[in-house]
Amino acid sequence: MQCVFSLNRPLDIESLLKELTKDERNNPVSFPNGARIGHIHLRVTNLERSVRFYHEKLGLDIIGDLPSVGAAFLSVGGYHHHIGMNTWHSQDGKPHRRGEAGPENFTIGLPDQASIDALATQLGSSVTARDQERLTVVDPDGIEIVMRKRLTY
């Protein structure tokens, strides 16, 4: 197992905002069309349960499982991590509820329709919604995960 660690520093918001052009400051958008996020970090209430869900149910590889520090990192294809999770302020707490701070949902892009169909079969009754293009499950902390065919730009 190989873990990649980096320094974590508080975000310098003022410096970040200075990077915006005048037009960007005056015409904010929620998220640029076509932008993609490389990874997401989740606050979970039970690290072992969440690692098991993302590994066994969704098939992500465990890149780093560090229960002594309350964090884990999972990915596909050998990437350092697509999903990071921790229990730093949430161990044994209540699952996420809509309207609270934190992600309510996120989307995972799969290579093709066959991958979606195979995952739907594997997940069985865990699937909360399904149509021709996507399927949805909810993780143990109430975060909705939508799996769909990877978009191309």
Residue 126 located in a structural domain: yes
pLDDT at 9: 67
Residue 27 located in a structural domain: no
Distance CA 120, CA 126 (A): 9
Residue 8 located in a structural domain: no
- Summarised one tens digit per residue, pLDDT across range 20-59 is 888 877 776 666 666 777 889 999 999 999 999 999 999 9
Residue 47: domain span: 39-149
- Summarised one tens digit per residue, pLDDT across range 62-106 is 999 999 999 999 998 887 789 999 999 888 988 878 888 788 889
Distance CA 150, CA 153 (A): 10
pLDDT at 1: 45
Residues in the chain: 153
Residue 5 located in a structural domain: no
Domain count, the chain: 1
Residue 7 located in a structural domain: no
pLDDT at 60: 93
pLDDT at 100: 81
Output the six-digit token pair for 91: 């161990």
Residue 18 located in a structural domain: no
- Residue indicated by tokens 């197992």: 1
- Summarised one tens digit per residue, pLDDT across range 104-116 is 889 998 888 999 9
pLDDT at 101: 78
pLDDT value at 13 more than 50: yes
